Copies of this chain bind each other. A is one copy, B any other.
């Protein structure tokens, strides 16, 4: 469906180049696209929508909105251990969204396409009286039966997380308040980039597929997301607060304020991967293979003891910290 006047030209001008090298896109000129996995592969599908005023700010550069729309989906594919293949884009634009905005948005998509070796396969654009609303449905490929689920964590496994947590929440805080003025410009930019242009850990998807017993991406907040793993795997997971990896910028901003720290890594939007793997996994060797992304052991998996799905946060003395509802967002 093409609703906005001139949208047909827009598709040809702006979106066709995003699909140009993808045979399955049929150049965006047909009723549908085609994904043709090899006979030993299956297709992993994820869909995430970002809405102006909810997941991004009206003031955010349109290019960063394009980056984020793809990033939140590629992050889910990485958590399943899938290799990205392509995506469809369904966008609802209000009439105030200019051709310039849409072109810059497409520039962000193109940057992500090149980085992750994927193409636009199809989709649609419609008019809306509301905020900009961008849905991406992303497709990955895995060998049949090899997708990593949330349900495979076993007692004795360790819990790992990629990168650092809390940066995105602080990036948003920098954009919306006077906080962080004492940080260097570089550190401020780093935090803002974590919020505006999250980088999915696609490069870790092979590692997840080969070694993880369960995995999830950290999008809702650390404790909330680990609770999904614990619940699906019918285990109890203990997270060591002191082990949670924080960036230099985040350490400078929150110092030793534990409550603040818990708030920022409880806020989600970091799009790091959390996964469980056997204790005897060769961490040293693996780390050197994926040298750009630090991987940190932050906890351990235990028998549920009747409390399947429990997540317990402990301090330096192994005492449980009351997380109340603070680690959970949205539910």
A: residues with CB less than 8 A from B are 1-9, 26, 29-37, 39-40, 42-51, 53-55, 72, 76-77, 79-80, 82, 88-90, 92, 94, 121-124, 126-131, 133, 135, 137, 139-140, 144, 147, 149-151, 215-217, 219-220, 228, 232, 330-331
Set of chain B residues within 8 Å of A31, measured between Cβ atoms:
46, 76-77, 79-80, 150, 215-217
Q: How far is the CA of A5 from the CA of B44 in the complex (A)?
A: 28
Q: List B contacts of A94 (CB < 8 A).
A: 130
User: In this complex, what residue of B is CB-closest to A273?
Assistant: B31
Nearest-Cβ distance from residue A52 to partner chain B, whole angstroms: 9
A29 touches B232 (CB 8 A): yes
Q: For A29, give the chain B residue with the smallest CB separation.
A: B232
The reply to whether A49 and B124 form a contact with Cβ atoms under 8 Å apart is yes
- Inter-chain CA distance A37–B43, complex, in Å, is 8
Q: Is the CB of A144 within 8 A of B330?
A: no
Given the interface contacts A32-B44, A150-B31, does A129 sit within 8 Å of B126 by beta carbon?
A: no
Query: From residue A175, how far is it (CB to closest CB) to chain B in Å?
Result: 19
By Cβ-Cβ distance, the 7 closest A-B pairs, closest first, are A130-B130, A39-B39, A8-B331, A32-B46, A36-B42, A31-B76, A137-B137
B residues within 8 A CB of A228? 29
Do A90 and B32 have beta carbons less than 8 Å apart? no
**Interface of chain A: mostly helix, strand, loop or mixed:** mixed
Are A54 and B127 interface neighbours, CB within 8 A?
yes
A330 & B2 in contact (Cβ 8 Å cutoff):
yes
B47-A147 in contact (CB<8A): no
Q: Nearest B residue to A73 by beta-carbon distance?
A: B32
* Bound Cα distance A33, B129 (Å): 31
User: A34-B44, A127-B51, A133-B128 in contact; A5/B331 too (CB < 8 A)?
Assistant: yes
State how many angstroms separate the Cβ of A301 from the closest Cβ of chain B.
18
Of all chain B residues, the one with the shortest Cβ separation from A142 is B34
Establish whether residues B47 and A122, one from each chain, have CB atoms under 8 Å apart when the complex forms: yes
Residues on the B chain within 8 Å of A139, using CB: 45
Bound together, the chains give a CA A232 to CA B1 distance in angstroms of 17
In the complex, the answer to whether A90 meets B34 with C-beta atoms within 8 Å is no
- Give Cα A99 to B249, complex, Å: 42
Please give me the residue from chain B that is nearest to A32 by CB atom. Answer: B46
Kindly list chain B residues whose C-beta atoms are within 8 Å of the C-beta of A54. Answer: 3, 126-129
Decide if B137 touches A331 in the complex (CB within 8 Å): no
The answer to whether residues A26 and B149 also contact, given A90-B49, A123-B47, A124-B49 and a CB cut-off of 8 A, is yes
CA distance A89 to B49 in the complex (A): 10
- Taking the nearest CB of chain B, how far is it from the CB of A299, in angstroms? 19
Decide if A121 touches B34 in the complex (CB within 8 Å). no
Kindly list chain B residues whose C-beta atoms are within 8 Å of the C-beta of A150. Answer: 29-31
